[in-house]
Amino acid sequence: MDDQVPLVNYYTKSYSKLFESLSLSHSKEDTMNLFVGGEFQKFGYLEERILRSIGLESNWNIVDVGCGSGRLALRLKGFLEGQYLGTDLVDDVLDYANSIVNRPNFSFHRVEDCTIPSTENFADAIVFFSVFTHLYDEDCFRYLKESKRVSKNNALIVLSFFDFEEPNHWWVFDQALKNPDPNKVPSTFLSKSALRKWCEVLHLEIESIYAGSEAWIPIEKDIGFDDQSNPTGNAEFGQSVAVIRTSS
């Protein structure tokens, strides 16, 4: 793509620094868990349930952008027969994800710009869990454009985001305000109007937007979260989630 800018100057630098500082004071397993935000098993389960709720089938090809250390991949490995492509900026987390999944139809690739290393007409679903929460607007747009390029007709894009309309997301902004580190991992917010505009420009169709605090994910078992919440029936994701169709 001609409008790509190498990310090495900001995202890669900040994530590599985060990885290094976590690994200095934590075991490998804890580092891999904390790097993606913690509660590895529980959020992996919720991410899988989100995909099930949008119709995931075993023969789907999935692109998991910013797959991290494999929270979602681990949940899919016993089910998915189609191809899984996970991308990330950090070799160590990709290697870890590959080692815990270890399936021939799962592959993990490092990226250096907002591209998806895939041919056109590949994906049934492209997911960005906790990724647009750390990307600047231009890069969110670039990734949406890429998603459209690699998707099959009628594919789905799922992305989670922070939203100023959600009172529960304010702490994220507050924490960013108080963090003077110029190399911090950015925390970014998305407005629904920005998302609508990007989808209009790219001819994508927003199917649903779920507020972070909405209990909309059908779950089949109790999940006891670290904050003591224990949803049953339906669970919230915490971050808001948009489900977008690439064409109809």
Ligand X SMILES: C[S@@+](CC[C@H](N)C(=O)[O-])C[C@H]1O[C@@H](n2cnc3c(N)ncnc32)[C@H](O)[C@@H]1O
Q: Which residues bind ligand X (CB under 6 A)?
A: 7, 11, 15, 36-37, 47, 65-68, 71, 87-90, 93, 111, 114, 129-131, 134-135, 139
Nearer to ligand X, 130 or 240 (CB): 130
Q: In Å, how far are 11, 27, 44, 99, 227 from 49, measured between CA atoms?
A: 28, 29, 9, 23, 20
Query: Residue 55 corresponds to which tokens in the numbers above?
Result: 């119709």
Residue 110 CB, shortest distance to ligand X, in Å, is 9
d(CA 159, CA 164): 16
Nearer to ligand X, 8 or 154 (CB): 8
Nearer to ligand X, 38 or 205 (CB): 38
Nearer to ligand X, 48 or 124 (CB): 48
Residue 8 CB, shortest distance to ligand X, in Å, is 11
Residue 65 CB, shortest distance to ligand X, in Å, is 6
d(CA 152, CA 221): 32
Residue 143 CB, shortest distance to ligand X, in Å, is 7
| Cβ–Cβ under 8 Å, residues 70 and 95 | no
| Cβ–Cβ under 8 Å, residues 86 and 108 | yes
- Which of 156, 125, 119, 159 shows the shortest CA–CA distance to 139? 159
Which residue number places its CB atom closest to ligand X? 66
Residue 201 CB, shortest distance to ligand X, in Å, is 20
Nearer to ligand X, 126 or 195 (CB): 126
Taking the CA atoms of residue 135, residue 140, residue 142 and residue 143 in that order, the dihedral angle to the nearest 10 degrees is 100
Residue 94 CB, shortest distance to ligand X, in Å, is 9
d(CA 137, CA 189): 9
d(CA 137, CA 165): 17
Residue 40 CB, shortest distance to ligand X, in Å, is 8
Within 13 Å, how many C-alpha atoms sit on residue 215's CB side? 9
Residue 163 DSSP symbol: -
